[in-house]
Structure 1
Amino acid sequence: MTIETEETDLTVDELAARAGVTVRTVRFYSTRGLLPPPVIGPRRVGRYGPRHLARLALIEELQRQGMTLAAIERYLGGLPPDVDAHGLDLHRAVVASWAPADVETVTGQELERRAGRPLSEEDIGQLTAMDVLEEAGDGSYRVDSTLLALGVRLLDVPLSPEVILAARTTLIEHSRAAAHELSRLLRDAVAERDARDVKSLTAHMHPLVVQALLTTFQRSLRDELRQWLTEPPSEE
C-alpha cells in the first residue's frame, strides 16, 4: 500500500467540506480531468486524500488570479502526472505570490479545521515564526490563507525551525531577484505596446513564468541533491 493510499481517507462530502466547495463542484472538476480519480475503498466507495485537497486549493488560487477554466486545464495539464500534495502546495504558494497576501482573522477552532489537524502550542509557535499566522487576541489568529497548507506540511519536516526560516529567507531573496529581472525584461519588451496588449500578454505569461520557475528550480534542486548524495565525503 502506498503512502498516498494510506492517507486517502476522505469521502467526497468530507473533501468538499474541507476544501470549501460543493460536492457538485468536485464531481464537475473530476469529469473535466482536473482532479485525479478517487481510490476505490470498501463497498466501492471513492476515497480522497491530500493530493485531491491540494489540487482543489490550487484550482481555487488559479481562479483567484483570474484564470479561465480552459487556462486552468492547460496549467494543470502541464504539471508532472505524479505530482504529490507537497508539489501542488508549492505551485499554489508560487502562484499566490503574484498577488497580495490573503490574510483573514479566524478562531482557533476554524484554524484547526483549515489546517486539517489539531495544532499544539509548539505548532502555533512554528507557524508564527514562518509568518503564516499571528495571534490576534481573544483566541483568534490572523492567517495568511495562501501559505497555511504549506506551513502545516512543514511542521512534519524533520528540520529545526531555524533551518526552515533560513531556507525561507533564501527562497524569498532569490525569488525577488528573479522576479525583478523578469519584470525588467518583460517591461522592456512591451514598452512600445498599447496598455491593453500589455495586460493581455501579462495574463498569458503569468502561468508560463510560474511553471518555468518551478521546473527550473526543481531540476536544479534535484541536481544539487544528486551531487550531494553521490560525492565522496570530504577528508578533514
Structure 2
Amino acid sequence: MSAQHDDLVSETEALYTVDELAAATGMTVRTTRYYAGLGLLPPPTRRGRMAYYSVQHRARLDLIRALQDHGFTLAAIEKYLAKVPADATVEDLAVQRAMLTSWKTGGHEVLTRRQLETRAGRKLDDEAILRLASMMSINEVDDGRYEVLPAFEVGVKCLDLPIPLDSMVAAGEAINRHMDELADELTAVLKDRVLTPYLESPKTEDDKARFEQTMSSLRQLTLEAVVGGFQRAANQVISRSLNR
C-alpha cells in the first residue's frame, strides 16, 4: 500500500482499493466491479483517480456471498439488497449475514437428473423423483435440475419402503408445517438474544473467532435437541395411548 493509502486507513479505518476488497472477500476484481456496476454496492469514496471502499462495502459483499450460498439468483439478490437501508451499519449487515449462514454443510447444491442418480447410487424413475419431492428431500428448481435438500439421504432410504405416496405427502406436509414454525421461533431467539447483544458489545479478533465457533456448535446442538425433543414427545404420545 502507498503512504497516502496508509493515511486514509488510519483516518477512516480500513479503506480498500478494489483489488484489496476483492481479495478480502474472496471474489475476483471483475466480479466485484460487476456487482458495483449493478448498484449492489454504494458508490466508493474518490480520492483523485483512486476509488476506496469501506468496511460497509466489505460487509455487503459478505452478505452477497451468503445469499449466493443459499441459492439466490442475481435478480433475487438485487431485490433483497434493495430492502437493506443504504446506511446499514457493519453490525446490521453482520446480523443479516449470520442469520443466512446455512445449517447444512456443503452449501447450496443443484444437480441434473443424472447427477442426482449418481448421488443416490441408484436409478431414479419419475415415481422416485415424486416421492423424494414429497418427502422434501429434493426441490425441482427448473426443468431437469434439482436442489438437494438436507433430508436427501433419508429420502433415498425410504424409497423402497411399502408406504403409499399420499401418506408420504401428508407426513411431509406435517413436518414442513411444524418445522417452519419452529425455525421462525428459534431464529428470533438466536437473533434477539444471542447475535444482536454480541454484535453490540466491544470485542477483539479472538472474541470474533470464538463466537463463530460457538455459533457452529450451537447450530449442531440445536439440531440434536430438535431430534431429541421429537423422540421425547413421540414417546409421550405412545404412553398416553397405552394409558387410555
Class of the TM-score when normalised by the shorter of the 2 chains = 0.3 to 0.5
Task: Mark the structure with the bigger radius of gyration.
Answer: 2
Higher relative contact order (CA 8 A, sep 6+): 1
